[in-house]
Amino acid sequence: MDAKHLDLYLLRCLTTLVSEGHVTRAAAHMGMTQPAMSAALGRLRTLLGDPLLVRTEKGMIPTARALELAASVHQGLELIDQALAQDAPFDCTSSAIRFEIAATESTSFVLMPALMARLRKVAPGVSVRVHVPERARMRNELEEGYAELVVSFLRAASEDLHSSLLLRQRLVVIAAANHPEVRGSITLDQYARWPHAYYTRGRSRGAAVETAVDEALTRAGSARVCGAYLSSILASTAVVATSDLLATVPEYIARHFAATLGLQVLPPPLPMRNVDIAMYWHERTHKNPAQKWLRAVLREAAMELQSSG
């Protein structure tokens, strides 16, 4: 392959095609016609000697070669864009940029409504794509350009990442309104004896909330019983509402579902540390005007949420 035949236009087409996995959506994202994008895909296939996108029963999927190329090309384009836009102010009112955010489910539930409400008012052309990150790969996602922001709880974030606290989250205990024993308050004995709905982000790893609970119980010389292991902390609220299980969740989530599901929201029977939401970003986006603007808007949304809570 002779790289001199690949211009920036084709490289942007490549990353967009791999990201979207769909020619029509890729064309819309780049503001071009579907035939033009199809022609670009054909030229890329010829120049790179690879089909790049292959059709399956579930739609078009990128080849291994396409994924490898797109990751490297994305980083290169980011550097070019940052170099060209370093001093240019970001015009949120006319921009059609899409931000890539990695955020846990509970974080998205708490913060994304407030963020989107602000974006729709001040930057109607701006969009965000949010995905749940793998905890072990959060730094890699920022470094490789698959996310510009990670919004989550990272107890041991890499020292070379920038970070900013967004929201302090107190933990509370939830129980069904008609729980057979828990009524308006809960003792440590009850907390340890009644089974818990446990939020897990994998076969064996509990989420940050559960880690905080287990550490608090260990300090108190106690332990708990788990009656259900769930992959969604939001599902925990529904499970608790219809059973005798308990759960420990961030207060924002508990208060939201308390009335509709009939939940008791109780102070924990032992001291627990906060599970705070912060945002993390890489040096490569630190000075980018659009990214700086997004971080500022997210901070404002979090401050408004904190003050109203």
Confidence of residue 114 (pLDDT cuts 50, 70, 90): very high
Confidence of residue 4 (pLDDT cuts 50, 70, 90): low
Quick: pLDDT tens for 262-304.
Answer: 999 999 999 998 888 899 999 888 888 899 999 999 999 999 8
Quick: pLDDT tens for 68-110.
Answer: 888 888 888 877 776 666 566 788 999 899 999 999 888 899 9
> Alpha-carbon distance 230 to 193, whole Å?
19
CB-CB contact of 148 with 100 (8 Å): yes
Which residue(s) pair with 173 in the sheet?
248, 266
Per-residue exposure over 197-217, b if at least 16 CB sit within 10 Å of its own CB, e if not: bbbbbeeeebbbbbebbeebb
* Half-sphere exposure in the Cβ direction for 89 (13 Å, CA): 4
Residue 227 reports pLDDT greater than 90: yes
CA-based nearest residue to 162, from 81, 278, 80 = 278
pLDDT of amino acid 100? 92
> Alpha-carbon distance 143 to 75, whole Å?
9
Residue 217 reports pLDDT greater than 90: yes
pLDDT of amino acid 156? 59
Q: Tokens 């009335």 label which residue?
A: 259
Structure tokens of 301?
């949304």
Residue 1 reports pLDDT greater than 60: no
pLDDT of amino acid 48? 87
Quick: pLDDT tens for 139-178.
Answer: 788 887 888 999 987 665 667 789 999 988 899 999 999 9
Average of per-residue pLDDT across 123-149: 85
pLDDT of amino acid 249? 95
The C-alpha angle with vertex 227 and arms to 178 and 213, in degrees rounded to 5, equals 90
Mean pLDDT computed over every residue of the chain: 88
User: In order of start, what are the domains of the chain with their CATH numbers?
Assistant: 3-85 (1.10.10.10), 98-168+276-308 (3.40.190.10), 171-266 (3.40.190.10)
